[in-house]
Amino acid sequence: MPVSDTVARDDTDAEGDRLPINELFASLQGEGKLAGVPSTFVRTSGCNLRCWFCDSFHTSWEPTHAWLSLDEIVAEVESRSPDHVVVTGGEPLVHDETDALLSALADDYHLTVETNGTLETDAPVDLASVSPKLASSTPTPDNAPADVDSGVWTERHEDARVDLDALASLVEHAAEFQLKFVVTGRDDLDEIESLVADVRGVTDREVRDSDVLLMPEGQTREQLARTRTEVADLAAAFGYRYTPRLHVDLWNDAPET
Ligand SMILES: C[S@@+](CC[C@H](N)C(=O)[O-])C[C@H]1O[C@@H](n2cnc3c(N)ncnc32)[C@H](O)[C@@H]1O
Ligand SMILES: Nc1nc2[nH]cc(C(=O)O)c2c(=O)[nH]1
Ligand code: SF4
Ligand SMILES: [Mg+2]
């Protein structure tokens, strides 16, 4: 089961702003331009979307978490050795307190934010890792995770999954950015081309083809083995960058990897 379904920590009694934390661990960045870089991951719980394929089920469809104060989160980050921190989720930007966490870490760490691109932030970010969601991510009664009534979420997800203003803001705000698309097959490429053109149309910042990353859909080694060669071939054909999912290859996306 990718990401933690039980939470090792208790809710805090400490004073101050808090965030719902599903897991916090050191690993290697598995995805994107910084793949392979030792990084501490802070995974918040809660999301405004419901991708059918979400590899973090216990932060979206069925959130589990402990509430930790920002001071406790910073202390847990400081107790680990990486100088890169990845704030992810769930969708980290649904929580106002995420901005305060980023500000508290900014002087001492390289900060990546993994976001679905529907929300903005004013906080310091070194790499905005933006993963806009395509039509192929939308949950239906057939593909949604078991025991979930997807009817409501089909419409809510479809309505919310692309926000060009938020995408422009994220691309302009961070020191660096990447647009990291989850690709399920050739049919996704027309929408990616159209969305990249739309983003280029709403920002003055240059969006190079090398800022566009194609990532194969797959939560397990077996699933990835079925998708990655086609996605790599599509990246080569369209001139975009391919990103592996190293944590799936190496650890089969076990919790805290
Ligand atoms: C769990 S999400 C959390 C951050 C944010 N909610 C988002 O979607 O970007 C982290 C990354 O995993 C990707 N992802 C989620 N499920 C996936 C899957 N089944 N296959 C490939 N990538 C996936 C997301 O697109 C995103 O880039
Ligand atoms: N190793 C590793 N790299 C990652 N890069 C982005 C991740 C995420 O869940 O946001 C992730 C993750 O869960 N594990
Ligand atoms: S936006 Fe991210 S966390 Fe939310 S459901 Fe999709 S992949 Fe999961
Ligand atoms: Mg992950």
Residue 109 has pLDDT above 50, yes or no: yes
Pocket test for ligand 3, best of 44, 56, 180 (most atoms within 8 A of CB): 56
Atom of ligand 3 nearest to the CA of 50: 5
Instruction: Report the complex ipTM.
Output: 0.99
In a domain, 256, yes or no: no
DSSP character at residue 206 = -
Q: Is 89 in the pocket of ligand 3 (CB under 6 A)?
A: yes
DSSP-derived pairing of the beta strands 66-69 and 18-28: antiparallel
Q: What is the pLDDT of residues 146-155, one digit of tens each?
A: 556 667 999 9
Tell me whether residue 178 is in a domain: yes
* Alpha-carbon span 179 to 100, nearest angstrom: 24
30 is an annotated ligand-binding site residue: yes
Domain limits for position 30: 3-251
Band (pLDDT 50/70/90 cuts) for residue 7 is: confident
pLDDT, position 1 = 38
Does ligand 2 lie within 6 Å of residue 29's CB atom?
Answer: yes
- Residue nearest ligand 3's atom 7 by CA: 54
Where is pLDDT greater, at 113 or 7? 113
DSSP result, 6-60: S-SSPPP--SS-EEEEEEEEEEE--SSTTTT-EEEEEEE---S---TT-S-GGGT
Q: What is the pLDDT of residue 26?
A: 98
Ligand 2: residue whose CA is nearest its atom 11: 30
Q: Which residue has the higher pLDDT, 243 or 14?
A: 243
pLDDT band of residue 129 (cuts 50, 70, 90) is: very high
Is 16 inside a domain boundary?
yes
Contact 77, 21 (CB under 8 A): no
For 138-172, write each residue's pLDDT tens digit: 999 899 985 566 679 999 999 999 999 999 999 99
Q: What is the pLDDT of residue 14?
A: 84
Taking only the tens place, the pLDDT of each residue in 68-106 is 999 999 999 999 999 999 999 999 999 999 999 999 999
As for how many domains the chain has, the answer is: 1
140's enclosing H/E stretch is none
* pLDDT at residue 2 greater than cutoff 60: no
Residue 142 placed within a domain: yes
Ligand 1 cavity residues, CB under 6 Å: 47, 53-56, 88-91, 114-116, 131, 180, 182, 215, 217-219
Structure pTM? 0.97
| CATH code where residue 198 lies | 3.20.20.70
185 in any annotated domain? yes
Exposed, middle or buried: residue 81 (CB in 10 Å: 0-12, 13-18, 19+)?
exposed
For ligand 2, pick from 57, 247, 257 the residue to mutate: most ligand atoms within 8 Å of CB.
Answer: 247
pLDDT at 148: 61
50 annotated as ligand-binding: no
Q: Is residue 257 part of a domain?
A: no
